């Protein structure tokens, strides 16, 4: 794991190791609307960075830009030191290969007419066109093994798999391109709790064994806690807070971060009714400027209530000492 060095997004190279991903002063606009508005961060090799935020905050736009699917209006995106935003044609395709994505809904991400073997073989042909059929078959089998799927799944199609198995296939496809960075866009939010745990454990193992870096997009702070070394909290196109996971979750600096943490259910009824009004803070606009598509902001019911100095302050003292989450309480 990479030690938490002081973070300076505008510095090219802090530790002597080029960043896997460096995003600087990034602006991505749809017409007049700046969906991403001056975002900067870097991801070191093997590091896992989570972008947390609600609908419309720009996190998906950010991910698409990092994948080279959207062109920024301003700013830089560099992969291993090479400017993705300036690359064209063959260079861009070669760079894109280094970043792969795992989508939220694995059923929608896999071609229903293909068998598991073909689904994993497809990217492998692109990544390594010189391999023989036999060598590819071996590689497909090895990739599936690495995501915990036995060879008996080779002939199956997506509808014959569970959600967790589909997501494993999607991960194997991403790994087939031998990326340095995996973009994980809500990778477990379509999965059941017990399956989610399996996939989270798998993702943690893969990172450790392959030295992969992750850009995790999520709204689930429990998932983020589990997978990320650092967190950037995004709101209305900007990063409102950034830091090591533990620090952001336990000593949040921004009101919006506190509101997000307070909105995690599972602390019991007293805490639910006693905590700060997260939505009100969401409506008060830390980053200013209205953003279309943001439900909390558009909600006229959001009253301008003064934000409490600390999210924890409004929670009864008894809740502070108790584990605030159901999973650790048994």
Please tell me the distance from the alpha carbon of residue 87 to that of residue 216, in angstroms, as a whole number.
24
Residues 113-152, one symbol each (x = binds another protein by CB under 8 A, - = not), give ----------------------------------------
Question: Which part of the chain contacts another protein (CB under 8 A), choosing from 116-124, 132-140, 150-158, 257-265?
Answer: 257-265
CA distance 173 to 124: 8
Query: Does 54 participate in binding another protein (rule CB under 8 A)?
Result: yes
Give the nearer residue to another protein in terms of CB position, either 121 or 229: 229
Q: Cα dist. 63→28, 56, 172 in Å?
A: 11, 13, 20
Q: What residues from 80 to 109 belong to the interface with another protein (CB under 8 A)?
A: none
The binder of another protein chosen from 36, 102, 263, 286 (CB under 8 A)? 263
Closest by CA position to 207, among listed 2, 16, 13 = 2
Q: Which is nearer to another protein, 16 or 265 (CB)?
A: 265
Q: What CA–CA distance (Å, rounded) separates 305 from 136?
A: 60
Give the binding range for another protein (CB under 8 A) out of 78-86, 149-157, 173-181, 253-261. 253-261
Going by C-alpha positions, the residue among 63, 66, 77, 51 that lies closest to residue 230 is 51
Please give the order of strands across the beta sheet that includes 230-235. 99-102, 181-185, 213-218, 48-52, 230-235, 238-244
327 binds another protein (CB under 8 A): yes
Near another protein in 199-228, by CB under 8 A: 200-201, 204, 219-223, 225-226
Here the tokens at position 190 are: 């379509």
| Contact pick of 10, 13, 17, 55 for another protein (by CB under 8 A) | 55
Q: Which of 32, 132, 321, 328 binds another protein (CB under 8 A)?
A: 328
Q: Extract the tokens encoding 293.
A: 């598509």
**Which stretch of DSSP H or E encloses residue 289?**
none
Which of residues 18, 45, 244, 268 is near another protein by CB under 8 A?
268
Give residue for tokens 């994505």.
101
Contact positions vs another protein (CB under 8 A) = 54-55, 162-163, 192-198, 200-201, 204, 219-223, 225-226, 249, 259-269, 271-273, 275, 277-279, 281-282, 294-296, 298-301, 323-330
């Amino acid at each position: 794991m990479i030690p938490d060095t002081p973070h300076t997004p505008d510095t090219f190279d802090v530790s002597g190791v080029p960043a896997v991903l460096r995003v600087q002063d990034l602006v991505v606009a749809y017409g007049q609307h700046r969906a991403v508005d001056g975002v900067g961060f870097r991801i070191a090799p093997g590091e896992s960075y989570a972008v947390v935020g609600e609908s419309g905050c720009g996190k998906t736009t950010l991910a698409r830009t990092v994948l080279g699917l959207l062109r920024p209006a301003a700013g830089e995106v560099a992969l291993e030191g090479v400017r993705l935003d300036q690359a064209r044609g063959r260079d861009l395709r070669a760079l894109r290969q280094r970043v792969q994505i795992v989508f939220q809904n694995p059923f929608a991400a896999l071609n229903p007419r293909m068998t598991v073997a073909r689904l994993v073989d497809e990217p492998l042909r692109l990544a390594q066109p010189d391999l023989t059929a036999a060598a590819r078959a071996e590689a497909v089998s090895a990739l599936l093994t690495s995501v915990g799927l036995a060879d008996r799944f080779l002939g199956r199609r997506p509808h014959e798999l569970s959600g967790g198995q589909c997501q494993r296939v999607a991960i194997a496809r991403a790994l087939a391109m031998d990326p340095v960075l995996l973009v994980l866009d809500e990778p477990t939010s379509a999965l059941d709790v017990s399956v989610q745990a399996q996939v989270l454990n798998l993702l943690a193992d893969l990172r450790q064994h392959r030295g992969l870096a992750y850009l995790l997009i999520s709204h689930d702070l429990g998932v983020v806690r589990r997978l990320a070394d650092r967190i950037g909290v995004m709101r209305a196109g900007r990063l409102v807070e950034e830091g090591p996971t533990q620090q952001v979750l336990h000593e949040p600096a921004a009101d919006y971060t506190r509101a997000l943490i307070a909105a995690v259910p599972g602390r019991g009824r007293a805490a639910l009714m006693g905590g700060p009004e997260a939505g009100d803070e969401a409506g008060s606009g830390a980053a200013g400027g209205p953003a279309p598509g943001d439900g909390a902001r558009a909600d006229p019911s959001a009253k301008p209530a003064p934000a409490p100095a600390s999210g924890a302050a409004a929670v009864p003292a008894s809740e502070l000492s108790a584990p605030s989450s159901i999973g650790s309480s048994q």
